[in-house]
Amino acid sequence: MKLTTAAAALSLCSLASAKTWVLSERLAGADLIQAFNFEVGAGTDNGGIADYGSLQTSRRRGLLAVSATTGWTMLKTSTGAATPEGNRESIRMSSKKRYSGGLFVFDVTHMPTGCGVWPALWMVAPDNWPTGGEIDIIEGVHATTQNLMSTHTTSVCIQQTTGFTGTFSYTANPALANTCDVVPTNNQGCGVRSPSTKSFGASFNQAQGGVYALQWDTTGLRTYFWPRSAVPADITAGAPTGTGWGTPANYVSAAGCPMTHFDPMVLVVNTNLCGTWGSGVWSDNLSYAGQSYSCAAKTGYSTCEAYVRANGGAFRQAYWTIRDIKVYV
């Protein structure tokens, strides 16, 4: 039977809510580390001053570790001296596998926080940006507490204005807030900020973190966040059905943004330092993202780079702890 477009969309909709997802991968501990490439480079990432180490170097330096008691994976930033080049050691890992859809469930108990950091957990079509798209699931800077979820594409990808709890973040030109094309938005794409002050940084960590999920299917991209105390039972049980998930924090419907914008993607977790974003807002109080002071005022340093280079001890909270990553199809 040939369905009309409307009928097809409707049936996909009802399928989406009734779907029982099947686990295809659970990445934790040694298996998680094995599933990623560790990208090496100093001062190469968006103007940042992170010095990303190899798997071997990161392990040796104590920056990459699996807890013997919990089995959770820790990705740390160096709390020692800056490198001779003026960078700070950190980690950027990128999955060996590419994914072209599914339900990705990230159980995170700690994320980097504090002036100078720019951590992210995201997906991107490598070597094909922006044509192959980018989906940012967790991202923020400094001591903010509200997560930013952005989608980066070429034209035409317009995000609908309803169906999610977050708010558009692109204030430079509100008329472009839901334009995901990187060209008119100065590479920002369409960004949506979580209303939850437990969704990023110190307050996320204080609540024992939580679970992020990206549902990427033919109907669109839906990003969910649940703090530890509110993770739905089906997610905890490892048998997700979508029941009790509530409204997603972010949603990009395929109706205005064809999923053909998104090529197979790698999953990336990194902690950058300063960089275009971090340095760019060093002197802003970022009150729109749950921070109440500027890092310049708080630290007494007029630049992000000078602060990061001189204050290793300030990076004790600049680490990720990942309990596991589950991929369902």
Ligand X SMILES: *[C@@H]1O[C@H](CO)[C@@H](O)[C@H](O)[C@H]1NC(C)=O
- Footprint on this chain of ligand X (rule: CB under 6 A): 285, 287, 292
Of residues 25, 89, 134, 305, which has the active-site annotation?
Answer: 134
Among the listed residues 262, 9, 317, the one whose alpha carbon sits nearest the alpha carbon of residue 143: 317
Write the CB contacts of 201 (distance below 8 Å, at least 6 apart in sequence): 111, 113, 140, 143, 144, 145, 290
Residue number of the CB atom closest to ligand X: 285
CA distances to 15, 74, 212 from 252, in Å: 18, 31, 16
Q: Is 139 a catalytic residue?
A: yes
DSSP secondary structure of 282-311: TTS--GGGT--S-HHHHH--SSHHHHHHH-
In the complex, the smallest distance separating the C-beta of residue 287 from ligand X, rounded to whole angstroms, is 4
Tell me whether residue 24 or residue 287 sits nearer to ligand X (CB atom).
287
Q: Is the peptide bond before 117 cis (omega within 30 degrees of 0)?
A: no
Q: Which is nearer to ligand X, 124 or 296 (CB)?
A: 296
Encoded amino acid at 263, one letter: D
Distances in whole angstroms, Cα of residue 125 to Cα of each of 39, 99, 134, 152, 248: 15, 9, 7, 11, 23
- In terms of CB distance, is 219 or 285 closer to ligand X? 285
Whether 136 contacts 294, CB under 8 Å: no
Distance CA 171, CA 176 (A): 9
Of 245 and 293, the one with the shorter C-beta distance to ligand X is: 293
- Taking the C-alpha atoms of residue 62 and residue 27, their distance in angstroms, rounded to an integer, is 21
CB of 143 to ligand X, least distance (A): 12
To the nearest whole angstrom, how small is the minimum distance from the Cβ of residue 299 to ligand X? 16
Residue that is written with structure tokens 């807030």 in the block: 177
Residue whose CB is less far from ligand X, 285 or 311 = 285
Closest distance to ligand X from the beta carbon of 289 (Å): 11
Amino acid (one-letter) located at 20: T
Find the shortest distance in angstroms from Cβ 304 to ligand X.
Answer: 18
Residue among 25, 89, 139, 305 flagged as catalytic: 139
Residue bearing tokens 């001890």: 313
Residues annotated as part of the active site? 134, 139
